[in-house]
């Protein structure tokens, strides 16, 4: 059975998650609980740093889809960064790179988080 560890830290006004391992049917509940807990605490600016994420399946993507509306309704965002080739390929193949803003580095994502958010959908530029 695969394992998942999730650490998080606040940087500026953004809650940054660091999942390490695999997000799959066995671990998705931990991932979902972490994200939901942040939202319940009023953290609507969320960055998921995927540097140590080895794999994410459809249940993990479902978690992201399940929270994005609430985050956006509260003037927040859900950014992703540091995806390895495998994780990026999963997101890209399923069209999630058009739904979520993906950054090469945490620094780029945090810089973008400081910019005023607008109502444009990612990819509309």
CATH number at residue 54: 3.30.750.24
pLDDT tens, position by position, for the chain (125 residues)? Answer: 459 999 999 998 999 999 999 999 999 999 999 999 999 999 999 999 999 999 999 999 999 999 999 999 999 999 999 999 999 999 999 999 999 999 999 999 999 998 875 544 444 44
Q: Could you list the residue range(s) of the whole structural domain that residue 17 is in?
A: 4-113
Is 124 within the bounds of a domain?
no
* Residues 6+ positions from 3 with CB-CB distance below 8 Å: 21, 22, 27
The size of the chain, in residues, is 125
Is 122 within the bounds of a domain?
no
Is 123 within the bounds of a domain?
no
**What is the predicted pLDDT for the residue at 2?**
53
**What is the predicted pLDDT for the residue at 12?**
87
Is 120 within the bounds of a domain?
no
First to last CA, the chain: 42
Is 62 within the bounds of a domain?
yes
Check residue 100 and report its DSSP letter: S
**What is the predicted pLDDT for the residue at 118?**
54
Burial class (CB in 10 A: 0-12, 13-18, 19+), 23: buried
């Amino acid at each position: 059975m695969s394992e998942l560890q999730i650490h998080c830290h606040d940087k500026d006004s953004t809650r940054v998650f660091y999942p390490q391992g695999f997000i799959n049917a066995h671990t998705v509940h931990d991932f979902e609980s972490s994200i939901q807990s942040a939202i319940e605490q009023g953290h609507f600016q969320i960055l998921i740093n995927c540097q140590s994420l080895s794999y994410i399946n459809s249940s993990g993507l479902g978690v992201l889809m399940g929270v994005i509306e609430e985050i956006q309704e509260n003037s927040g965002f859900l950014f992703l960064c540091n995806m390895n080739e495998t994780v990026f390929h999963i997101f890209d193949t399923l069209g999630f790179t058009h739904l979520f803003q993906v950054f090469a580095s945490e620094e780029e994502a945090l810089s973008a988080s400081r910019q005023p958010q607008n109502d444009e959908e990612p990819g509309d530029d």
